[in-house]
Amino acid sequence: LASVIADACTFEELDDYRQRLEDLVAERTADLEQASREREELLAELRRHTGLLEQQSREDPLTGLANRRYFDEQLAAAIDIAAAGGRSLALALIDLDHFKQVNDSAGHAVGDTVLLRFAALLMQHAPIEALVARIGGEEFAVLLPGLSCDSAVAAVELLRIRTPLIPIDDLPLRTPLRFSAGVCEWTVGDDADSLLRRADRGLYAAKAAGRDQVCAEPA
């Protein structure tokens, strides 16, 4: 009888020990699953934060357009493609006419609103493959892969025609918004600097001719 009782005690102890082990395994498994979930959440947050930083490094903080750094990178890449005989490439430089007067007379807050609305128009109506960038205070660049100079001029003319239609009734401005632009097409021997200089000469010609127009700068 004593032996039977001892065996029963041993069995109960073993069963209790087994149960404690199962509970411990279940607890550790739950801890590992929780740690895994937390790790995935941290990785997702890191990816989101990294993506946000990458986006911010490419965007103009006011308008959301491409910034000068990203524009320069994409211009260099587009020139490489054009130089390899891949496709044509045009560039437009756009400058809002008399924008300094807007800032001086109405204040920088109104000026920022004007820039935002103009940027929205550019994004909405520029050709699908175009890269639109803000590269200065009131200066914008439109990179136009696949377009000849004539086609680029036509595309920028459509933007120019639409610009005075930007609503400004809620702003203390006396005249509709307008811009001047210079356009050029990449030719053999052009690098980023020469292409920008040629587009800038077209922009200067547009301003010298009275503003509110698009001028093509020949190769």
Active site positions, annotated = 138
Tokens (6 digits) for 155: 């595309």
Q: For residue 90, list its beta bridge partners.
A: 144, 185
Distance CA 157, CA 9 (A): 96
DSSP state for residue 107 in the 8-state scheme = -
Q: Is 199 exposed, middle or buried (0-12, 13-18, 19+ CB in 10 A)?
A: buried
β pairing state of 131-134 and 214-216: unpaired
Distance CA 162, CA 118 (A): 10
What are residue 109's phi and psi, to 5 degrees?
-65, -45
Q: Is the dihedral of CA 89, 95, 96, 102 positive or negative?
A: positive
Tokens (6 digits) for 145: 């892969």
Distance CA 213, CA 155 (A): 13
